[in-house]
Structure formats: C-alpha cells, structure tokens
Amino acid sequence: MVWDDGRARAALRTLFDAAVAAADPHKVLAARLPDRPKGRCVVVGGGKSAAVMAAALEDAWPDIDLIGTVVTRYGHAVRTKRIEVIEASHPVPDVNSARGAHRLLERVRGLGPDDLVLALMSGGASALCAAPAPGLTLADKQEINRALLASGANITEMNCVRKHLSAIKGGRLAAAAAPARVITLAISDVPGDDPAVIGSGPTVPDRTTFADARAIIARYGIAPSPAAARRLEEAADETPKPADLPNTDFRLIATPITVLHKVAEAARALNLTPLILGDALEGEAAQVGILFAGMAHAVATHGQPIAPPAVLLTGGETTVTIGRGPAGRGGRNTEFALSLAIALSGAPRIWAAAGDTDGIDGTEDAAGAIVTPDTLARARAVGLDPRAVLTGHDSYSLFAAIGDLIVTGPTLTNVNDIRILLIA
C-alpha cells in the first residue's frame, strides 16, 4: 500500500477529527449523570465546552426543572432552553469573566441539603470565570495572567497562582454552595487529569498554599501588582482543603487518554499501527519537537519501537517561553510542528499533525498545523527562513503562508493537545 502526500494528509485530518469527536459532550455526558435530586437542581459551569455541556444536560434531563448559568468563550455559545450562557474572554479575562464568575456564586448561595449543584467544567474556565479576591481588581488579575502566560509556567503552576487571587477558584465555589451536594462533570484538558487543576478547581479541595503561589511567582521572576503581592504575602484566606468540602463528588466524562484510545481505533481502521506514548506530555514546545523527530527517525529507519506504517500519538500540553525580544504569531502546537519539521529536515515518509482539540492554538484562529516532508522546502520557496521564524515565535505565519494550518473553528470541546506522527 502506497502512502503519498494526499493520502497521509487525509489520514492525519481523519485522526484529528476523531479526537474531537471522542470528547463531544452530547456523546459522553449523559452516562455520568447522578440520580435525580429531591430538591432543586442548579447548574453552574465554565470553560470552552460549558455551553454545549449545558445543552447536552438539557437533552438528557428534559423533564427536570434546571436553572443556572455557565460561562464560555466568545464564539462558543450554543442555544440552550433553561440554562443561561454568558460569553467571556480567553486566555486573558475581561469584565464578562468577572460578571460570569459572580453570577455563578450568586446561583449557588442559599441552597439546602436536598438541593444539587451540577458543575460543568472544561478547559478555559480559569480565565472565563475570574472573580478577583477581596482587595483585588480585574486589572490586577489580567496583569498577572499575561505574565504567567508568557513565563513558561505550566498549567498547574499558573492555576496555583490564580486560585490564591480568586474568590471562586480552588474550591471556593463549592464552599459557597454548602450545604447542597455538589457534583462536577468535567472534560479534562490538563496533564494527569487532576481535578484541582481543571479550570483551577472551583468545586474541589485545593492542596496548594499561598506559599506555593509565592514560590512560583519568584521562580519565574514575575512582579505582581502591589495589591496582588500583598494578598499573596498576607495569606489571610487560604483555599478550602479536603476536610472543608465533604459533600462534593467529581466525575470525568472525557480525558486525553480516552480520546487517544479512540484515535488509535481510527488509526487501525486506516491500516496504521498506533502507539500511544502518553497523555500528559509537558515541556518547551520546540524541545519536544526535536525529541519527537528522533522518535520518528527511529521508527522509519529501524522499525523501533514500532514498525511502519504506524502513528505515534501523544496528548498533554507543552509551553512556549517568550523572551524579551518581539514575538510573532503562533501557539504551542504550531511551534512544536515547526521545530519538528526543522529537526526532521525533509525526511521522507514522515508526516505529522499537532493541534488543540478546542480548535484554538493559544490565541490564534487555527487549531495547529500539518508537517510534511517538504514543509521546509515550501517555506523557503516563499522566502521564509524556518529557523529564524522559530526563533521569532512566528510559526503561525509560516504555516499560513504554505497553507498547512489546521482550521476547524471552535470545536466546543477541549481535551488538550494531540500530536500525531505518521510514519509510512
């Protein structure tokens, strides 16, 4: 069986689309619902998939008197009948992020022990539900959020800081709902699927402390606003710990590893042998690209650790550290893809796709990019120096110039990034 460029590209897109479909809330949410409550059912939620999760809940429970609010990213709203949807900004919060977070807190206050709070959480909730802690302003949170995004901090570190500057994160939403029962249905977009990290864990206990947050700020040389620095130093209002939230339950409805297994099934249907290398990959995107080029060379040259035709599959979230110089356009997936292409150096019979399953790579309008054996040659043909582009963090522009961006629009789900290397 001959693998040419057209067939490889089609296979990569089929596999990426399979990843997105595997996390569709309409397919996975109903099976994880609890028993129907004796009292009221209040729905709250946040994230890029929050609105479609709310719509899926309405479909699953058509005869339940649902009330509530969810907050999602601009452009990610869907029509709902009973649950209010607020759109806000991501990855840097805006006034709607604060309005939405305060609305969630209002929804859960005054409930009783027979009432149920269903929290629908997915990736992006940290920025979308941003209620500043007492003494802070939205501008304080926006400033430190931008600094964290550019610092190279991983998602766990970023969320630790966010929790300790928030009135809703780190279990505070669940604390506000007491004595009602709180059940969270979540789509994981974080390495390791830690409930406390997904959306900064507004409904689960928090193991981190103010001291941890201060250490992260120091590690990355971040200078918070005076008000934020004072709150972190005073440490007067610690996040709820496990003993503080006894009436909560957390249920994952889609995770990176379940999605990777679905992609592996789709690969077998294309006569490709899949190898899942992990769902929690982290590290600097450009360095990870070099690492994966080495793996692909080993498969192509030695048939190790798997014989071609094969696909290597990974999930997780890399980072991009922006230096002091000017930066172009690009996200962690296009940066990984460009670094991979440079390291492969035109090797034949190796193709790749890297993209964020939410359809948005960082702040751009593409999910990621496709790498082909002639990526570098085509980039040079339009006057681009791939290494200079990588140094300037302008990978989006290169893949746009050669027509190899993966553009899906908002997928309305989010199980983090997926990287697919096809070796023929």
Nearest residue to 148 (alpha-carbon basis) of 208, 239, 200, 221? 221
User: φ, ψ for residue 211 (rounded to 5)?
Assistant: -60, -40
**For the segment 147-159, what is each residue's pLDDT rounded down to a tens digit?**
998 898 988 899 8
Locate 138 and state its tokens.
Answer: 């939205």
Residue 324 clears pLDDT 70, i.e. is over it:
no
**pLDDT at res. 150:** 86
Check if the beta carbon of residue 276 is closer than 8 Å to that of residue 260: yes
Nearest residue to 141 (alpha-carbon basis) of 95, 177, 180? 95
**Between 138-151 and 95-108, two packed helices, what is the crossing angle to 10 degrees?**
110
User: 60-69, 163-172, 185-194, 269-278 — which is least confidently predicted?
Assistant: 185-194
Residue 1 clears pLDDT 80, i.e. is over it:
no
Q: CATH 3.40.1480.10 in the chain, residues?
A: 5-21+257-423
Angle at 184 between CA 178 and CA 187, to 5 degrees: 155
Chain centroid offset of residue 237 CA: 28
**For the segment 175-197, what is each residue's pLDDT rounded down to a tens digit?**
999 999 999 999 998 888 999 98
Enter the pTM of the model.
0.85
Residue 364 clears pLDDT 90, i.e. is over it:
no
Distance CA(336)–CA(317), nearest Å, equals 11
Q: CATH 3.40.50.10180 in the chain, residues?
A: 33-254
Residue 323 clears pLDDT 80, i.e. is over it:
no
**pLDDT at res. 240:** 96
- Tokens 């590290």 identify what position? 283
**For the segment 269-280, what is each residue's pLDDT rounded down to a tens digit?**
999 999 999 999
The verdict on domain 33-254 having CATH code 3.40.50.720 is: no
**For the segment 85-138, what is each residue's pLDDT rounded down to a tens digit?**
999 999 889 999 999 999 999 999 999 999 999 999 998 999 999 999 999 999
User: φ, ψ for residue 28 (rounded to 5)?
Assistant: -120, -15
The verdict on domain 5-21+257-423 having CATH code 3.40.1480.10 is: yes
